[in-house]
């Protein structure tokens, strides 16, 4: 848009003109698609607004200057102006390009692939259908397939890579046709709603999470199209709903979790306990706290509404590092938090129950298979589901198209994503199991019977595409996995869960793995190199424990890392060495 001869003053004047045209568009309901009457700022109490304006939190001030929810209109306008040649993507104010557009689910990859975006969807309960996946593939095929791909996240979600901003309006229209949302999937919003990946099909489940996950998504994000009521939280907010008393949805590291108990209500349906305040972060890692209150299924939406409004209105906003929900829980104490929630429920005649003092949860730990891989029986007669591993969670466009075809042919078009970055094909007729297992994609890339290390592998995006990543993770994790499986056997262990995360933000959830590798600086021959801090002993489920540091600052090159991993696998996981590292080298 601007030539080199244009002065800085002229450039600023032109950008101001663009900003004014955007604001005029927002104010005119007839000239702007998807105009919102209110922004997230409008839902904040006056006291909170005043505190933000008087405070020193730069991100809160940025939101006060222009609310992130305005990105729901900006994304269309920027897309149009780019297509019409009225601006270049470099001309967009960086606060919009790199921050506010995340409210629309568009994440600029400035450091790695400038001018392209990662799009994070909203897929409640991790359910996606073959026609939806195929539609996404069709759109991605307009780009360089070395950059355009899918990543499964640890929230049962999909991230799409390589999309350009000028195509954003077309992409959003495609999502609308596919009935998929992406708004409010980033920044200070409620993230994808996690539920049981075997909801409605597992013979032993206590509760089918699908309906409530979809209802929560609709309430919080207007089906992923954007809802300003919850668009200006102090930080991100994670919600999970489990199908068992045992935590199978990573609920202990979510801000708000509902887990069913074996105590039934008057309708014969399970009641739910409420967990609050779990998180993994650079400064703080915390297992969630039990609020010691039960609610029936019909109260889950109102409890969620109450908690989000409490967090929005009273959450700490002075420091980004201390703004997650757990900090408000600790400031108030669990008793005050519980009392505030109960007061709001009672005011609206919403049912809640004090737990029975002598109640003992039935042992449900054996009802749920931690591994969902391979062929497993369903509650429906003559039906099975098939769980397959996705190495490091990465799927190419061609693989996704083949997977959509397999789903069409064998699982009524349905696919389900898991928090372990894998997928499930449900509702397969027993009569066609052999035909399913013969599919080349499932015999090769997406195995249903992987070896122990690949079986438990999880990896964040890493530095390949993420500007925060200190190390490359996905390719390195697969290479290390292959090397280790050639060197050692696991005679007594089916799965060893190894999680890779590129930085302390821990999107790869290193602290809940058997072995977690977190990107960190290391020294080799006196020089700084890519390295990892290693955690061990993390687990969720019946007795959740966060992992602890085993070694720090290990260089990532395999000459250093492989011996450390072999020693760790031998001493803690019963691995038996079958070949020397020198033979691999």
Domain ranges of the chain: 210-347, 374-390+402-450, 454-584
Catalytic pick among 242, 456, 462, 502: 502
Q: Rounded to an integer, what distance in angstroms lies between the CA atom of residue 398 and that of residue 128?
A: 17
- 374-390+402-450 and 454-584: identical CATH topology: no
**The pLDDT of residue 4:** 43
**The pLDDT of residue 581:** 61
**The pLDDT of residue 232:** 98
Tokens coding 328: 């408000």
Catalytic pick among 466, 481, 503, 507: 507
Would residue 181 show up in a list of annotated catalytic residues for this protein?
no
Would residue 105 show up in a list of annotated catalytic residues for this protein?
no
Would residue 235 show up in a list of annotated catalytic residues for this protein?
yes
Q: Rounded to an integer, what distance in angstroms lies between the CA atom of residue 373 and that of residue 448?
A: 6
CATH-assigned architecture of domain 374-390+402-450: 2-Layer Sandwich (3.30)
Q: b/e map of 462-494 (b: 16 or more CB within 10 Å)?
A: bbbbbebbbbbbbebbbebbebbbebbebeeee
Superfamily holding 454-584: Sulfite Reductase Hemoprotein, domain 1 (3.30.413.10)
| CB contact at 8 A, 102 and 68 | yes
Sheet of strand 270-276: strand arrangement: 239-241, 256-264, 270-276, 289-295
**The pLDDT of residue 111:** 78
CATH of domain 210-347: 3.30.413.10
Catalytic pick among 508, 516, 519, 547: 508
Catalytic pick among 63, 109, 223, 235: 235
**pLDDT (tens digit, 0 to 9) for every residue of the chain, 585 residues total?**
444 444 444 544 444 444 444 444 443 333 334 444 799 999 999 999 999 999 999 999 999 999 999 999 999 999 999 999 999 988 999 999 999 999 999 999 887 778 899 999 999 999 999 999 999 999 999 998 988 999 999 999 999 999 999 999 999 999 999 999 999 999 999 999 999 999 999 999 999 999 999 999 999 999 878 999 999 999 999 999 999 998 999 999 999 999 999 888 888 889 999 999 999 998 899 999 999 999 999 999 999 999 999 999 999 999 999 999 999 999 999 999 999 999 999 999 999 999 887 676 665 555 455 679 999 999 999 999 999 999 999 999 999 999 999 999 999 999 999 999 999 999 999 999 999 999 999 998 999 999 999 999 999 998 888 888 999 999 999 999 999 999 999 987 789 999 999 999 999 999 999 999 999 999 999 999 999 999 999 998 888 999 999 999 999 999 999 999 999 999 999 999 987 666 555
Query: Counting runs of H as helices and runs of E as strands, what totals does the chain give?
Result: 18, 23
If one counts every other C-beta atom within 10 angstroms of the C-beta of residue 519, the result is: 28
Would residue 508 show up in a list of annotated catalytic residues for this protein?
yes
Would residue 120 show up in a list of annotated catalytic residues for this protein?
yes
């Amino acid at each position: 848009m601007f030539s080199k001869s244009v002065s800085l003053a002229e450039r600023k004047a032109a950008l101001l003109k663009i900003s004014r045209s955007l604001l005029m568009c927002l104010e005119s309901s007839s000239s702007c698609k998807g105009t919102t009457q209110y922004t997230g700022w409008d839902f904040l109490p006056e006291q909170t607004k005043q505190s933000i304006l008087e405070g020193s939190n730069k991100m809160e001030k940025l939101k006060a200057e222009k609310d992130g929810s305005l990105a729901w209109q900006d994304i269309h306008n920027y897309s149009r102006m780019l297509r019409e040649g009225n601006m270049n993507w470099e001309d967009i104010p960086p606060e919009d390009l790199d921050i506010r557009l995340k409210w629309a689910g568009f994440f600029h990859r400035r450091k790695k692939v400038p001018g392209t975006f990662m799009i994070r969807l909203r897929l409640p309960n991790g359910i996606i259908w073959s026609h939806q996946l195929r539609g996404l593939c069709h759109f991605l095929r307009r780009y360089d397939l070395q950059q355009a791909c899918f990543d499964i996240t640890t929230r049962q979600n999909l991230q799409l890579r390589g999309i350009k901003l000028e195509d954003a309006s077309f992409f959003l229209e495609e999502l609308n046709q596919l009935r998929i949302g992406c708004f409010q999937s980033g920044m200070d919003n409620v993230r994808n709603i996690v539920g049981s990946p075997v909801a409605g099909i597992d013979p032993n489940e206590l509760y089918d999470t699908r309906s409530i996950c979809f209802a929560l998504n609709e309430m919080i994000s207007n089906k992923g199209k954007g809802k300003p009521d919850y668009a200006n939280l102090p930080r991100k907010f994670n919600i999970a709903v489990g199908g068992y008393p045992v935590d199978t949805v990573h609920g202990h590291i979510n801000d708000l979790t509902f887990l069913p108990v074996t105590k039934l209500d008057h309708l014969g349906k399970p009641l739910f306990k409420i967990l609050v305040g779990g998180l993994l972060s650079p400064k703080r890692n915390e297992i969630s706290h039990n609020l010691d209150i039960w609610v029936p299924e019909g109260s889950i939406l109102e409890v969620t509404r109450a908690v989000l409004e409490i967090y929005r209105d009273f959450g700490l906003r002075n420091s980004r590092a201390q703004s997650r929900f757990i900090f408000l829980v600790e400031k108030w104490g669990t008793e005050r938090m519980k009392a505030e929630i109960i007061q709001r429920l009672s005011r609206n005649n919403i049912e809640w129950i004090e737990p029975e003092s002598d109640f003992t949860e039935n042992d449900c730990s054996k009802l749920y298979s931690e591994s969902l891989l391979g062929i497993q029986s369903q509650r429906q007669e003559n039906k099975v589901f098939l769980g397959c591993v996705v190495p490091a969670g990465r799927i190419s466009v061609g693989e996704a198209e083949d997977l959509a075809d397999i789903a069409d042919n064998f699982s009524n078009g349905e696919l389900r994503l898991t928090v372990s970055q894998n997928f499930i094909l449900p509702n397969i007729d027993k009569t066609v199991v052999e035909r399913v297992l013969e599919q080349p994609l499932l015999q090769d890339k997406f195995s249903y019977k992987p070896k122990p290390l690949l079986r438990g592998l999880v990896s964040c995006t890493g530095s390949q595409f993420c500007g925060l990543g200190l190390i490359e993770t996905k390719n390195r994790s697969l290479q290390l996995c292959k090397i280790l499986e050639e060197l050692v056997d696991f005679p007594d262990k089916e799965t060893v869960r190894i999680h890779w995360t590129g930085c302390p933000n821990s999107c790869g959830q290193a602290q809940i793995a058997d072995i977690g590798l977190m990107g960190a600086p290391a020294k080799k021959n006196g020089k700084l190199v890519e390295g990892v801090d290693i955690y061990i002993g993390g687990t969720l489920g019946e007795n959740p424990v966060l992992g602890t540091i085993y070694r720090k600052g290990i260089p990532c090159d395999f000459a250093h890392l492989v011996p450390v991993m072999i020693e760790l696998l031998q001493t803690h996981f019963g691995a038996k060495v079958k070949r020397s590292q020198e033979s691999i080298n």
